[in-house]
Amino acid sequence: MKSRKKRGIALTSAAVLGILFAFAGTCSFSLWKAQGDSMAPAIQKGERVWINKLAYLFGKPQQGELVAFHCDVYSEDGEGSTLIKRVAATEGDSVEIKDGTFYVNGRVYNEFAAELVYMEPMEEVTVKEGEVFVLSDDRSAALDSRDSAVGTLKISELTGKVCFK
């Protein structure tokens, strides 16, 4: 009888732990399917990525990280969709585009660019505290912080960090 009771407790405990683990995983991560090519070659159209929704709860995004955010503007990913972009600059950094080239803190920033393309001029701006400036890896895709409809993003507006492909 005792053995049966212990077995029942063990099964119930395992079930409860399984439910808690599934709930924690759902709250911590989400799976997203890329709809467009703006982040190629890092993320291809149709590729699935995991987004860590807790990544910026206690930390801040770093230059070069891929981040997800909700955007109500119509894009190749659809209207009101989750977009993935790369952090090009963080709080306190100055960014500008002159002579078709993107600069961060006065230095050319070509990291992660799929190819070098001419970009429209942009006056120098300093990224405010608690914000980031994001770019598409495909620099010809302009729905990123260069577009006033997106602009710089508050860290609190980020859905999370892309952590697995």
DSSP-H helix ranges across the chain? 2-28, 55-58
Summarize the chain as % helix, strand, coil (round to 5).
20, 35, 45
Give the distance, in angstroms, between the CA of residue 24 and the centroid of all CA atoms in the same chain. 20
Catalytic residue among 3, 13, 30, 38: 38
Give the distance, in angstroms, between the CA of residue 46 and the centroid of all CA atoms in the same chain. 16
DSSP-H helix ranges across 2-113? 2-28, 55-58
> Is 81 an annotated catalytic residue?
no
- Please state, in angstroms and rounded to a whole number, the distance separating the CA atoms of residues 132 and 145: 9
The token pair at 2 is 């005792």
Q: What are phi and psi of 82, to 5 degrees?
A: -85, 130
CB 138 within 8 A of CB 45: no
Largest CA distance in the chain: 82
For the annotated catalytic residues, the residue numbers are 38
